Structure 1
Amino acid sequence: DAALWLGLALKKQQKFRPALEVLEPAYARFSDQPQAEQLLYQWADSLLRLAEYDSAREKFQLVVEKFPEGTLQEEALNAATVCAVNAGRLSEAESLLTQYDRDHPQGRLRLRQTILRGRVLLRQVVVAEREASRDRAQSLFRDAAEVFSSVAQSSEIDSTKQQARFFWGEALLKLSDYARVLEVTQPVADLVLRERVPGDFTEVLVQRGLAHLELARKLARDSDADQGAGTPPPELASHCQSARDSASSYLAGLPRGTLAPQAWYVSAVSSALAGQKTESLAALKSLARQFAKQPEREMALLEVGEIAYARGDHTLAESLYDELATASRDPRRRPQALADLGWSRSQQKKHADAVSAFRQLLNEYPEHALAPEAAFMIGQSLAALGKKLEAQKAFAEAFNRPGSSDQTFQAGWRSGKLLFELNDVPAADAAYGTLLERFPEHPRADAALDDWAARHYDQERFEQADKLYLRLIEQFPKSPLTWNARVILAESELIGERPEVARGKFEAIATDPQADQKAVERSMYQLQNIAHEGQDWQGLKRLAAESLRRFPEGTYRHEAELQRAEAAFMLGDLKGAQVDLERLLKLKNDSDIADKPWFGKVFVRLAELLVKEKEYEQALAVVDTMEQWNSESPLLYKGWEVAGRAYKNQARFSDARRLFLKAIDDPHGKKTETAARAQLLLADTLVLEKNYDGALDEYLKVDIGYEFP
């Protein structure tokens, strides 16, 4: 009796190893005494508490075999099953469950046995996950949850209810039903916190911490909290605080417990999500100091680094990823750490250091899924350093890697772009050609082809550009980029002086209900130009009005207003033209509009209109305003010619000739039709002054110096 009571006392103090040292020899000495069953059972239970499950199971089964009429038969069989489940020996567990059902069909512990059946289902998940059968795993979790739920709701024994709720929470956690986890395990957590002494269900605190953390993660994803360093939403902050509190409560009772690394992980990540940087870093230090080799340390470093990166704290992210890359040899986390280290350095414009991280990843894990990204980012980082030639070579190497990843496609594209920038056009053409041959079905293949064409277009290699735009239309007929290609090909017809062909193409775009609206507006803009060039004033009036109706806020709305004014002017609607011109003139201080090459026409046409209306002083004021607006305007000579006419019509011949001469001598106006008209009108002023000899000399200048009739 003394040995038994001493062993029980030591167990009550959680001193299981000393209890073994008392109980084992006591059983050997008193195996034929009435206390033998109890001594053997308590010996087995001490082994169970020390997680020596196989040895414990053997002893519990020995209790069943040696004491068939004993009082602990049912308890020993139940405990043996617990040991088998804890050790993951599922076939033994199934056998013991069957034995219990046979020997104790109405046993007091049958609901606890039911809980063990649920735990077997949870253990079977490991096999399903190993076989990558996610559906099977989820089905097992659901079945287990139903088992635990039935026990929790049917048992009248509080400890059995709590045990069922504990494992029910575990199953729900795996089913991602986090709110239900908190609801189901609340009574268990209340019991654990009330007792203040670590017990069988203390791990529920970590379980609840994980559930709170997952709910906080979801709120972070759904809010803007992970986009900046601002205060997190109240509900997110509440879940983070609850997660930390649960983890802290576990660590207070079991600082070196089985789930202590997980508790520190919960604390580190939840603090980071809540924006509590100091607390998060403290938790990470505790992990490094106490559990440096545990996977939870690496998991925490990775996730806290991700949170810091997402919130723009790239300096912190870099330090965490660097620590992880130094500490980890895990084939999943180490390459991810190296990639994220490179990205965090890149975000800080530490491009040379970024290259180092990406190269390390590429050298150590050349076949890893992140290798194409690393190869691409080496090129990006070198390009950011201004090392175009090295960057192009890096992109070419990245493109030459096997596989069909998006980064490989992007690398080939960037290689071609840089070759254009390096003025190696043949190599650039070859790079784009190879890219599209290798990735003809890539979602951005049409964009790459469009970019190839645009680079020739921008460098005025129009023939090559047109061929590529035509290829874009033929190869990707459903791409939205084909509409711009169609517009450019139509504009090429204009450049080739085939306005009627161009008109047909622009009209086809403008009237197609499927056409991109920017292409439609551009086509209508060009149709107006064709109408203007062909002096189709009625057509121009109609097109300008339609363009303004369809695109009242469009890119070319101001040009359309000018065209409408031009049509009105030529059709004799001077008042209508004046309204548009004066409205446009009010925009002269808006550089986004007034800096466009056509804006000077507004001054010239308005001044000309005022001359027609014999509002000469107003016309002169408009030309004077034009000169103040931009004394370097290439259209100013036209304004001077109109001002000269205003003076001539007032018989202010000297002033008229001064303005005509300015128009004639202006570099932009030399030998133009406007200069010829100014020369003719200058001669007319001399005739009006009866200076016929002088007039003859000036008329001869028109005849000799200009080819206009």
Structure 2
Amino acid sequence: MQTPRKNERRHGTWRCWITLIAAIALLAIPTGQSMFGPQVAHADQAADDYAAAVGFYKQSRWGLAEEAFKKFLKNNAKHDRAPFARLYLGLSLTNLEKYDEARTILRAFVKDFPANAQVPQAMYRVAESSYFLDDLKGAEAEFTAFLAKSPEDALREYALPYLADTQLRLGKPDAAAANFQQSIKLFPQGKLLEDSRWGLAKSFDAQQKFPEALVLYREITANRAGVRAAQAQLQIASRLFEQKDFANAAKAYTDLEKNFPESKYVPTSRLNAGYAFYELKDFKAATTQFELAAKEPEQAPAASYWRGMSQKQTGDLPGASAILKAAFEAHSQNPIAEQVLFQWADCELRLSQFDSAELHFADVAKRWPQGQWADDALYFAGEAALQRANRTANAETRSAAIQAAEGYTKQFAATQPNSGLKFYNDLLRGRVLLARGSDADATAAIELFKGIVGSTQRPQTQLQARYHLARAQQKLKQHAAVIETLTPVIEQVRKEGAASEFIDSLVMFASSLLVEKKNPEAVTAATDYIRLIPKGEQLDQAFVSKALAEANQKQFDVAKQSMTQLKAVLPNSPLIVRTTLQLAEAAYSQKQFDASLEWYAVVVAAGPQSPHFVPALSGQAWSQFEKKQFKPAAESFGQLVKEFPQHALAPEAAFKLGESLQLDNQLEAAAKAFGEAFESYSPGNYGYLAGLEAARTLRRLNKAAEADAAYEKLLVKFPKPQNLDKLFDEWALLNYEAGRFERSDAIFKRLIAETPTSELADNARFSLAESDLLSSVNPDDGSVIVAKLESAKAAFQKLEQDPKSDVDVQQDSLWRLMQIAEQQKLWDEMAKSATSLRTRFAEGSHKSDAAFYLALSHLQRQQSELALELLKPLAAAKADPAMRDKDWFPRVFVLLAESQWQKKNYADVIATVSDFRAWDAKNRLLYQAEETLGRAYKSQGKFDEARAVFKQVIDDPNGKRTETAAKAQLMIAETHYLQKDYKAALESYLKVDILYDFPEWQAPALFQAGACDEQLGDWPQVVRDYESLIAKFPKSEWAEKAKPRLETAKQNAKK
């Protein structure tokens, strides 16, 4: 603000004395003398010219007097009236205010005529001229000289005040005060009394004797008719203003107009009254005074400016803007125009008229690049441009505004390097970078803000930098950094309370605390904001952070209260529905499905016009799903798919619809839903999953053919899905389990061909090998298809040796090789496979299988002792359920008994068979063990017991017509033969050939039948017996043995 105007001329206050003093000069002639010279009857021309000049002087015709006296002196330099002419010329010139010329003439007069009686008056006029020429040092010396020379001269009444004023103006208030006081003392009723009192008051002012000065001013003012009264009133007001007594100053200023309405100081008092009211913050009264003051053209620029500022302070920004606009347009060339334009721009900025604000601020910087507002103007032009960018929805306009803002910050940096606003401009640069929006710009802004925090010594600037640094960090999701950055800011906010510039940082702080799962602290920060600023701009966001943090702590009832409060104070906040959705999601993530379902339902109830409707409907369905409310879940998922089939969540919902129906055991509906989802949302992850589940659901429905078709369709649309090998394997097993082996094999072949490096490729190869193995037996006659068997065998051998085959496949392949070896009766190969299995996979899944087949190979190679070592532990494990499930386990008893028989441990044979019978009396292989038992009895000569057991074997339904039964029948014949009951033996031998179709046993039976006929002496029959044997079994060992005996029989038959 400007200081109040004094509105005093430097020396015009003393001008009123001149006329009076000039008149006195005519009376200052000594008695008996005349300035006009002696009277003559006939005046000469010179005398006439002189007389005329004096006449002009008497009539105050100063110009004519000057010319006349100059003419006279030019023509009559030696005239006896020339000294007086020079004096009158000097006096005329002083009256014409030609002080310099007057002083020169009068100084010469004093010098040339020191004894002249008019020298004192000339000396006075010389001093007076110096005074008016502002030659104050000269005036002081000359007035002093005058007073010293003529201490009693009448002009002393004027010389003393003039000298005092000169000294006052020379900064000598003590001397001035002394002379003013002397003037007042010497001339208490003098013509210049009021002026002297005025001067004395001014001297007291200069001496800072303000109380004494005010006393004098008030005395002067009391005489309202006095010429100095109004001026003294102005001084009273000014002194009060200077003492910051603005209330009394305002009254004093307004009293001036009231008491002296015609005073020339009224305009000044109005202006200064405006300043006083402004200082009192009585902006309405100030506006009134400034409006009145503006009527004076000279002070209209300042008055208009301060009227606008006063209006601005009342909060009437539109009114202030209009006043300042008019002021600028009217006084654009006035020095005050710079700040008028600046404040106009500021009003526009505060009114959010960012376009015009930017324009005007930029104009200030352009018009006055070195002005006092240049740096402020550039800074705020950038601020306005940034605000313009932040508030436009048009991308092109936003980009241009950001570019403009950046330009202002660069111009500021280049032209205002020493400005106190440097850090503010740096802050603005950082905010502009943030407005650009990219992560790279945010990173650059962070570095800029950090630099400010580390450089500035001003706490407030540090806090501002931290605030914006936190904004940039939050944009980059550096929430831990946000918390660290804002902690000092939050401490300051909590000290300052609601008035803090950074009150909004509480909300930012809370949101980052929320992300960092510091939920109690987030609640505290948000609660502080709500308490401090119950109507704050970010109140809804504060409630949101508070509610979410409470929900994260499972304080769902408290979170519900927070949302209720938000709805009460800001029922139309757009955050309500969104936050309710977030609360639902928070509850869902904590598996609080009752709470999540409730909140999701609230959002759904808001209606489909909400952008959050579909996510909420999806969340509602998921919550129902998690609560195992599969029927309602299916309805919700189904609604989403039906009403919003193109929504991003529709594919997921379509899949979950099928899954909900599936879990609700509505398999037919589930299969249909999965199928429709597959058709609608393929390609796409949920389309794939739906197609897969469609196939699986059809599989559960035992619709193998439809499931197979579904798998095939899935791979048409998704020919190379993730885990293709597993999908092939699943698809193949579907067909395998359904007995569709050819289809299964075809799929396994695709698995191998399309995913050859899959870890499941060996399983597929194993399955194909098994298929060859299974198909190697002719289903019609049980014959072996050697090519198939050998193909399977080769595949198993390759698999068990391939290091890429997994452990299970290697073990299973060795297991199958043992079975093939048994079928081919290749006991050495069986032993090799079993040994490899036991060595490589000692604790594997086929550990007991390997032991069994190795024992079998030993037994078949007559290594009964080795067989016994393996079989005994196996038999001892008969109580193990896992052993009972082995299809070969009953054979353990059979092989054990056979091994014991070979070792002639007949008692052990009997015990083993007894254990077998006790373990499972109805076992299908029991008859095989009993055949060995029969041989044990036979070997001990217990023929009756033997035949009884053999008869059980033959009659056993499991052994009937088997090879074992044929062997048992042969053993019955042997017992009769050994007892020389050849007829019974013959009958039993012949039954072997007649009833069974096993050449291994038929051939020896026929041979022994011939031996019985030999013992019975029926040689013709013997010949027939041997011929039949040789004919039926020509390649058997028994045919060879029968040939020599046949010749003997033929010889005997001829006898």
Q: TM-score, normalised by structure 2?
A: 0.56
CA contact (8 A) 2:865 2:899 kept: no
Query: Taking structure 1 as reference, are residues 698 and 501 closer, same or farther at Cα in structure 2, changes over 3 Å only?
Result: same
Query: Taking structure 1 as reference, are residues 309 and 675 closer, same or farther at Cα in structure 2, changes over 3 Å only?
Result: farther
Which residue in the other structure is 2:730 paired with? 451
Which residue in the other structure is 1:202 paired with? 503
In the alignment, is residue 321 of structure 1 matched against residue 633 of structure 2? no
Aligned pair partner of 1:116 in 428, 433, 437: 428
Which residue in the other structure is 2:218 paired with? none
Distance across 2 between alignment mates of 1:103 and 1:37: 30
Distance across 2 between alignment mates of 1:189 and 1:366: 48
Which residue in the other structure is 2:847 paired with? 557
In the alignment, is residue 54 of structure 1 matched against residue 352 of structure 2? yes
Query: Taking structure 1 as reference, are residues 166 and 594 closer, same or farther at Cα in structure 2, changes over 3 Å only?
Result: farther
Query: Taking structure 1 as reference, are residues 76 and 515 closer, same or farther at Cα in structure 2, changes over 3 Å only?
Result: same
Which residue in the other structure is 1:234 paired with? none
Q: Alpha-carbon deviation of 1:111?
A: 0.8
Which residue in the other structure is 2:887 paired with? 597
In the alignment, is residue 460 of structure 1 matched against residue 739 of structure 2? yes
In the alignment, is residue 408 of structure 1 matched against residue 687 of structure 2? yes
* SS state at 1:460 partner: coil
* SS state at 2:516 partner: helix
Q: Alpha-carbon deviation of 1:171?
A: 0.9
CA contact (8 A) 2:510 2:526 kept: yes
Which residue in the other structure is 1:150 paired with? 451
Which residue in the other structure is 1:241 paired with? 520
Amino acid at match of 1:613: K
Distance across 2 between alignment mates of 1:291 and 1:679: 104
Instruction: Please say which of residues 585-594 and 25-34 is displaced more in the overlay.
Output: 25-34
CA contact (8 A) 2:890 2:925 kept: yes
Q: Alpha-carbon deviation of 1:119?
A: 1.2
* SS state at 2:477 partner: coil
Instruction: Give the alignment of 1:434-449 within 5 angstroms.
Output: 434-449=713-728
Amino acid at match of 2:650: A
CA contact (8 A) 2:930 2:950 kept: yes
Q: Alpha-carbon deviation of 1:504?
A: 1.7
Distance across 2 between alignment mates of 1:493 and 1:22: 109
Query: Taking structure 1 as reference, are residues 103 and 470 closer, same or farther at Cα in structure 2, changes over 3 Å only?
Result: closer
Query: Taking structure 1 as reference, are residues 596 and 150 closer, same or farther at Cα in structure 2, changes over 3 Å only?
Result: same
Distance across 1 between alignment mates of 2:637 and 2:843: 47
Amino acid at match of 1:252: R
Q: Alpha-carbon deviation of 1:255?
A: 4.4
* SS state at 1:54 partner: coil
Instruction: Give the alignment of 1:39-50 within 5 angstroms.
Output: 39=310, 42=313
CA contact (8 A) 2:581 2:600 kept: yes
Which residue in the other structure is 1:132 paired with? none
Instruction: Give the alignment of 1:1-40 within 5 angstroms.
Output: 30=290, 32=303, 36=307, 39=310
In the alignment, is residue 676 of structure 1 matched against residue 966 of structure 2? yes
CA contact (8 A) 2:546 2:559 kept: yes
Q: Alpha-carbon deviation of 1:402?
A: 5.0
Distance across 1 between alignment mates of 2:485 and 2:599: 36
Which residue in the other structure is 2:769 paired with? 490
In the alignment, is residue 139 of structure 1 matched against residue 440 of structure 2? yes
Distance across 1 between alignment mates of 2:313 and 2:672: 72
CA contact (8 A) 1:23 1:43 kept: yes
Query: Taking structure 1 as reference, are residues 517 and 693 closer, same or farther at Cα in structure 2, changes over 3 Å only?
Result: same
CA contact (8 A) 2:473 2:481 kept: yes
Amino acid at match of 1:595: D
5+ residue gaps, structure 2, are: 1-245, 248-280, 292-302, 319-345, 392-400, 777-787, 1002-1055
Query: Taking structure 1 as reference, are residues 111 and 612 closer, same or farther at Cα in structure 2, changes over 3 Å only?
Result: same
CA contact (8 A) 2:358 2:385 kept: no
Distance across 1 between alignment mates of 2:863 and 2:566: 84
Distance across 2 between alignment mates of 1:347 and 1:701: 74
Distance across 2 between alignment mates of 1:287 and 1:655: 101
For 1:357-400, what per-residue CA distance to the aligned partner results, in whole angstroms no more than 9, with x for missing partners?
11111122212232222222222222333333322222222222
* SS state at 2:680 partner: coil
Distance across 2 between alignment mates of 1:280 and 1:376: 33
Distance across 2 between alignment mates of 1:111 and 1:553: 77
Query: Taking structure 1 as reference, are residues 374 and 248 closer, same or farther at Cα in structure 2, changes over 3 Å only?
Result: same
Which residue in the other structure is 1:546 paired with? 836
Amino acid at match of 1:54: S
Aligned residues: 659
Instruction: Please say which of residues 322-331 and 439-448 is displaced more in the overlay.
Output: 322-331
Aligned pair partner of 2:641 in 362, 381, 402: 362
CA contact (8 A) 1:342 1:353 kept: yes
Instruction: Please say which of residues 415-424 and 380-389 is displaced more in the overlay.
Output: 415-424
Distance across 2 between alignment mates of 1:481 and 1:278: 53
Amino acid at match of 2:512: A
For 1:212-253, what per-residue CA distance to the aligned partner results, in whole angstroms no more than 9, with x for missing partners?
33333xxxxxxxxxxxxxxxxxxxxxx333333333333332
Distance across 2 between alignment mates of 1:255 and 1:628: 90
Query: Taking structure 1 as reference, are residues 515 and 302 closer, same or farther at Cα in structure 2, changes over 3 Å only?
Result: farther
CA contact (8 A) 1:60 1:79 kept: yes
CA contact (8 A) 2:556 2:595 kept: no
Larger CA Rg, structure 1 vs 2: 2
Which residue in the other structure is 2:808 paired with? 518
Query: Taking structure 1 as reference, are residues 261 and 593 closer, same or farther at Cα in structure 2, changes over 3 Å only?
Result: farther
5+ residue gaps, structure 1, are: 3-20, 126-136, 217-238
Instruction: Please say which of residues 446-455 and 304-313 is displaced more in the overlay.
Output: 304-313
Amino acid at match of 2:472: A
Instruction: Give the alignment of 1:258-273 within 5 angstroms.
Output: 258-273=537-552
* SS state at 2:352 partner: helix
Distance across 2 between alignment mates of 1:661 and 1:46: 125
For 1:173-209, what per-residue CA distance to the aligned partner results, in whole angstroms no more than 9, with x for missing partners?
2222232222222211222233343522233233233
In the alignment, is residue 254 of structure 1 matched against residue 540 of structure 2? no
Instruction: Please say which of residues 370-379 and 146-155 is displaced more in the overlay.
Output: 370-379
Instruction: Please say which of residues 351-360 and 295-304 is displaced more in the overlay.
Output: 295-304
Amino acid at match of 1:407: Y
Instruction: Give the alignment of 1:272-421 within 5 angstroms.
Output: 272-283=551-562, 286=565, 294=573, 296-327=575-606, 329=608, 333-420=612-699
Instruction: Please say which of residues 385-394 and 37-46 is displaced more in the overlay.
Output: 37-46
Q: TM-score, normalised by structure 1?
A: 0.80
Instruction: Give the alignment of 1:161-180 within 5 angstroms.
Output: 161-180=462-481
Q: Supply the RMSD in Å over aligned alpha carbons.
A: 4.1
Distance across 1 between alignment mates of 2:927 and 2:571: 81
CA contact (8 A) 2:362 2:381 kept: no
* SS state at 1:400 partner: helix
Distance across 2 between alignment mates of 1:450 and 1:286: 58
Instruction: Please say which of residues 580-589 and 385-394 is displaced more in the overlay.
Output: 580-589
In the alignment, is residue 534 of structure 1 matched against residue 808 of structure 2? no
CA contact (8 A) 1:487 1:519 kept: yes
* SS state at 1:386 partner: coil
Identity %: 32
